[in-house]
Amino acid sequence: MDFWENLKDKVTHAGHTVAKKSTELVEITKLKVAITDTETTIDKTLRNMGEALYEAYKTGAESYTSLEESCEEIDAAYAKIEELRARIAELKDVKACPACKKEMEKDALFCSACGEKFE
């Protein structure tokens, strides 16, 4: 019976591992979609800012209040992207290089892509 019990335990463990990994994969995919959506929002905001600036130039207006609000929205979007990327790295059990954003093992001391030293 030991053989069958051992086999059952191994199969059960493998099943739990596969379920956990597939759940992580789904979560990572959702986070990547959220990053893409946020990047699209940034692009649209930048385009709108350019159009607003050009219209202000054409009419001679010097009010940049709406542009400041757009810049704040973009800053918030970039912060959201960093949070999402940090969550992905956490799920993958890696860390990202602060300089080039390449994924590294958590215990790496230097980035293998750009040579940045980790603190």
Decide which of 11 and 82 is more confident.
Answer: 82
**Is it the case that residue 7 has pLDDT exceeding 80?**
no
Sketch the domain layout of the chain as residue ranges.
Answer: 33-105
pLDDT > 80? residue 8: no
Place of tokens 């219209």: 55
Which of 3-17, 19-33, 67-81, 99-113 is the least confident region? Answer: 3-17
In contact, 88 and 28? CB cutoff 8 Å: yes
Q: Which helix (H) or strand (E) segment is 103 a member of?
A: strand 103-105
Are 81 and 25 contacting, i.e. CB atoms less than 8 angstroms apart? no
How far is the C-alpha of 101 from the C-alpha of 109, rounded, in Å? Answer: 15
Stretch 74-93: mean pLDDT: 93
